[in-house]
Amino acid sequence: MEPFDVLIVGAGVVGCALARELARYRLRVGVVDREADVAEGTSKANSAIVHTGFDAKPGSLESRLVRRGHALWTELAPALHVTLERPGALVVAVSDDQLAALEALRDNGRRNGVTDLRVLSREEVLRREPALTCDVRGGLDVPGESIIDPFAAVIAQAENAAAAGVEFFLGEPVQELRAQPDRYCAVTPRQTLEARWLVDAAGLWSDEIAGLAGWREVRVTPRKGEFVVFDKPARRLVHHILLPVPTKISKGILIAPTVFGNLLLGPTAVDGTDKTDLSLTADGFSTLLRAGRRFLPALQHEAIVATYVGLRAVGAGSDYGIEVDGARRLVVISGIRSTGLTASPAIAEEVVTRLRDAGLVLRPNPGYRPDRPAPAWRPGHPRPCADPDRVARAPAYGRVVCLCESVSEGEILDAMRSPLPARTLDGIKKRTWAMAGRCQAYYCTADLLVLLARQRGVPLASITKRGVGSELTTGPTRTAGGTR
């Protein structure tokens, strides 16, 4: 088989954005990921904010790409039908030191080209956010900060790429990379994928992939970020993203509305060594609740619906690491720490520019379309089950499977038939928001299992939460046919 022109290792937001950017050209592009779905790494567990970059280090690559990413998302989101809302952020100062830091923060923002920042008085902050603690001393208004559907941000870019011919290989870890004079051979348990150019977009594991490719040492360590999600009634408490005054180490624990209508609290920032440690700690949990109540005392009466943990890929330096080696035909992307969701389309642009400079021939792909068909539902829009016309045309939209989020069988079937079909329960959840409501799959687990198994024509016991090893059940009962 002809080798791929470009093979991307890693189907996170960075890999998928790059795949989409490359799909504009007449190239054979592949994306390989060890997980069963796209967006299974850091890209599914972040704060879901499209940053303006006001607090970035001026002059850094990160600052430039976050700015550009913010601008790109404004066009990309409507074209790809990804929900993006712009509540704006308030940086909230609760001490005199923090109050003093606001002006410096504003000036920093100006240096990054974010010019619409304004320092607000205590009264102004409390007028806008009456539920905030009365310890507020002042705030900084950052009107451009936005929230996004972080799953669709990846899935839509990937689907768009897939529709334009990019091939995805999911559930296939790259275990070995052989560098030959004119190509790389990426060995997975299922096959060997050959490619002229190799892109390492493996996030936390970019060090490992770089090592396999014979590249010089890259260092990536995980920094844990834990989150708590509050049930929908809590969303009424805030109108903006509430940010603490950042410290050198971290952006701090924020409170943000989500496009799904919840309220998000997090993340913590704990350096670790285990890149697979996605456990919420008791300490982290209480740190979050304490920080949340400090800002918003009323949070203590609100119900929690979920918790999750993400790991930031912390590189050796403080900036993004993007290296394109023309001689080796290798791209290594690393250290995309805590702004990669925002910057991903800009990172993709940057990499493609540098690839062209390094000799990759780019001819436009005449069949490429920059948009994707609208899904039956996306966050912030009414569900199809409430639309008489749609239910009349397709009765499956009237069969509600997930009660809490009003997700219909029709939407679930759509998710299983899309260009990058959902094959796992988590895949369904990311695309439809089924199981993500207040009951956390109490009512719908069994129905969803049946739907997935029927649609895929496999036994129930091979349906997984997120790929092999996460099967939901272990086969028919001893007394199948009666369990009395």
Show which residues are catalytic. 51
Look at residue 203 and give the partner it binds from another protein, ligand FAD, none, a contact being a CB closer than 5 to 8 Å depending on partner kind. ligand FAD
For the bound state, the minimum distance from the C-beta of residue 224 to another protein, rounded and expressed in Å, comes to 12
312 binds ligand FAD (CB under 6 A): yes
For the bound state, the minimum distance from the C-beta of residue 265 to another protein, rounded and expressed in Å, comes to 12
Residues forming a β-bridge with 324: 331
Residue among 184, 197, 205, 295 that touches ligand FAD (CB under 6 A): 205
14 binds ligand FAD (CB under 6 A): yes
For the bound state, the minimum distance from the C-beta of residue 168 to another protein, rounded and expressed in Å, comes to 21
9 binds ligand FAD (CB under 6 A): yes
| Closest among 137, 282, 309, 163 to 228, alpha carbons compared | 309
For the bound state, the minimum distance from the C-beta of residue 322 to another protein, rounded and expressed in Å, comes to 30
| Residue range at the interface with ligand FAD (CB under 6 A); choices 196-204, 351-359, 411-419, 455-463 | 196-204
- Which residue's CB is nearer to ligand FAD, number 348 or number 412? 348
Residue among 3, 53, 225, 335 that touches ligand FAD (CB under 6 A): 225
Residue among 6, 7, 8, 11 that touches ligand FAD (CB under 6 A): 11
For the bound state, the minimum distance from the C-beta of residue 276 to another protein, rounded and expressed in Å, comes to 6
34 binds ligand FAD (CB under 6 A): yes
| Site of tokens 């594991």 | 205
The three-state (H, E, C) secondary structure of 223-234, written as one string: EEEEEEEECHHH
204 binds ligand FAD (CB under 6 A): yes
For the bound state, the minimum distance from the C-beta of residue 205 to another protein, rounded and expressed in Å, comes to 15
Identify residue 365 by its one-letter amino acid code.
Answer: N
For the bound state, the minimum distance from the C-beta of residue 225 to another protein, rounded and expressed in Å, comes to 15
- Which residue's CB is nearer to ligand FAD, number 99 or number 324? 324
Look at residue 389 and give the partner it binds from another protein, ligand FAD, none, a contact being a CB closer than 5 to 8 Å depending on partner kind. another protein
| Site of tokens 């499956």 | 396
Q: DSSP assignment of 250-267, as one string?
A: ----EEEE-TTS-EEEE-
| Residue range at the interface with ligand FAD (CB under 6 A); choices 10-18, 98-106, 107-115, 176-184 | 10-18
Cα separation, 8 vs 160, in Å, equals 16
Here the contacts of 399-404 (C-beta below 8 Å, separation 24 or greater) are 401/434, 401/444, 401/447, 401/448, 401/451, 402/432, 402/433, 402/434, 402/435, 402/437, 402/443, 402/444, 402/448, 403/437, 403/439, 403/443, 403/444, 404/437, 404/438, 404/439, 404/443
The three-state (H, E, C) secondary structure of 380-411, written as one string: CCCCHHHCHHHHHHCHHHHCEEECCCCEEHHH
444 binds ligand FAD (CB under 6 A): no
Backbone φ, ψ for residue 108 (5° rounding)? -60, -45
Cα separation, 337 vs 72, in Å, equals 19
The footprint of ligand FAD on residues 339-378 (CB under 6 A) is 339-342
Q: DSSP assignment of 167-212, as one string?
A: EEEES----EEEE-SS-EEEE-SS-EEEEEEEEE--GGGHHHHHHH
**Tokens encoding 29:** 């592009």
- Which residue's CB is nearer to another protein, number 20 or number 232? 232
Cα separation, 68 vs 400, in Å, equals 40
Here the contacts of 364-368 (C-beta below 8 Å, separation 24 or greater) are 364/24, 364/25, 364/26, 365/23, 365/24, 365/25, 365/26, 365/27, 365/164, 365/165, 367/164, 367/165, 368/23, 368/24, 368/164
Binding site for another protein (CB under 8 A): 228, 233, 276, 278-282, 285, 301, 303-308, 385-389, 391-392, 395-396, 398-400, 403-404, 406, 408, 425, 438-443, 445-446, 449-450, 460-461, 464-484
For the bound state, the minimum distance from the C-beta of residue 452 to ligand FAD, rounded and expressed in Å, comes to 21
- Which residue's CB is nearer to ligand FAD, number 272 or number 373? 272
Mark 165-194 with x for binding to ligand FAD (rule: CB under 6 A) and - for no binding.
--------xx--------------------
Element (H, E) at 70: helix 61-80
What are the CA-CA distances from residue 464 to residues 154, 337, 467, 474 (Å)?
Answer: 21, 29, 5, 11
Residue among 102, 161, 201, 234 that touches ligand FAD (CB under 6 A): 201
Residues forming a β-bridge with 451: none
41 binds ligand FAD (CB under 6 A): yes
Residue among 3, 10, 335, 427 that touches ligand FAD (CB under 6 A): 10
Look at residue 306 and give the partner it binds from another protein, ligand FAD, none, a contact being a CB closer than 5 to 8 Å depending on partner kind. another protein
Length of the chain: 484
Contact residues toward ligand FAD (CB under 6 A) are 9-15, 32-35, 40-43, 46-49, 51, 173-174, 201-205, 209, 225, 267, 310-312, 336, 338-342, 403
